[in-house]
Amino acid sequence: MNRRVVITGMGVVSPLGSTVDDLWQGLRSGASGVRRITYFDTKDLTSQIASEVTGFEPTEYIEKKELRRMDLAQQYAIVASEQAVSMAGLKETEVDPDRAGVVIGSGIGGIATFEKQHALLMNSGPNRVSPFFIPMMIADMCAGLISIRLGYRGPNYATVSACSSSGHAITDAMRIIQRGEADVMITGGSEAAITPTSLAGFCQAKALSTRNDDPEHASRPFDMDRDGFVIGEGAGIVILEEYESAKARGVEIFGEMLGAGMSGDAHHITAPHPEGIGARRAMEVAVKDAGIELTDINYVNTHGTSTGLGDIAETKAIKQVFGDHAAKLPCNSTKSMVGHLLGAAGAVELISSLLEIKYGMLHPTTNLVNPDPECDLDYVSEGTRDYTIEYGLSNSFGFGGHNISIVFGPPK
């Protein structure tokens, strides 16, 4: 478990653009990816806004005939993984296929495919259902397809833990390398759940913002006027590699995975524990696993969803964990600009944190103009801030009480 694990590649499909550079330019400028939904008619829905991916062109990486056999979540995962593999220089490197694997998380999987094929079944009968329906729908196929494309025969599976899915995937991939079972892992998450059924379900649960006439300001973590999260979509993929392997290849190292902590709220199917007990435990375990002191952490990328209960619970948890040090911790929310990418959120937020390390600045938490008195930390609401991350922590918390915190830092 003493093998060091570093990040050597990143790939992104996001509401702010479909490259890592696009994501960073959007984040540093405080741009919003939230807009009125264009995919389907929303007139009967209480929430009519989302963070859609626009201008997505997968044909650079995937042949057209293959696209028809893939759910959109799978397309996002493949495109992001191709970017990450290219950045890491893996295609120019002789990789032992038995020592390279793939773990990709997805909270919902191919729900768009499920809806379309169910409609065909109901309207036209079973003979019209696609023979590719099952592999297009199941959540594990993002990992499966990437493994097949690259020929990687190491550990290969999916993690499904709602909004913590990609955080759990990345943590599992780190552990696999630490244990010596692989030297390279492609990991992260993908989600494409902006569909009529998804929206209807989240609307009925009263989880989504209904700021339909002002979409750019709808995602407002820690703000008194927040009224729910904004659903998003996309993929975030990172290449994790054993340190000595990366060093020998001479590739750029963007950061190091230092530790992780997992916990369960054991409280409610959708609501977080009001005192943040599970979130607190995940952060405490992550810092201990990293082998550092609590006061060494000098940045937190929050889960920060813009929900009434969630933002308060996370704030309480951070204060419980870090005590007086919490007041000195910048704690921003990537979701203020990209919305909530569900199972892909943790991966995209880790990538945003690695970019903050690379460029020496923190992106803002946008739309925080009327702070909630119960959310009283430093959320970087004033705009970008020049800053050096020494040890950072990224949180993801999912429906069902699934909590994951990851500690990372710059390459040393």
Point out the residues that are catalytic: 163, 303, 340
| CB contact at 8 A, 320 and 273 | no
Tokens 């990486």 belong to: 61
| CB contact at 8 A, 168 and 394 | no
The candidate with the shortest Cα–Cα distance to 352, out of 25, 108, 98, is 25
d(CA 141, CA 166): 14
Sheet of strand 255-264: strand arrangement? 156-159, 100-105, 184-191, 234-242, 5-13, 255-264, 402-409, 392-398, 299-301, 331-332
Query: In the numeric block, which tokens belong to residue 40?
Result: 């389907």
Which residues lie below 8 Å from residue 137, measured CB to CB, with a gap of 6+? 71, 109, 110, 111, 113, 114, 117
The candidate with the shortest Cα–Cα distance to 397, out of 343, 318, 330, is 343
d(CA 74, CA 163): 17
d(CA 36, CA 216): 9
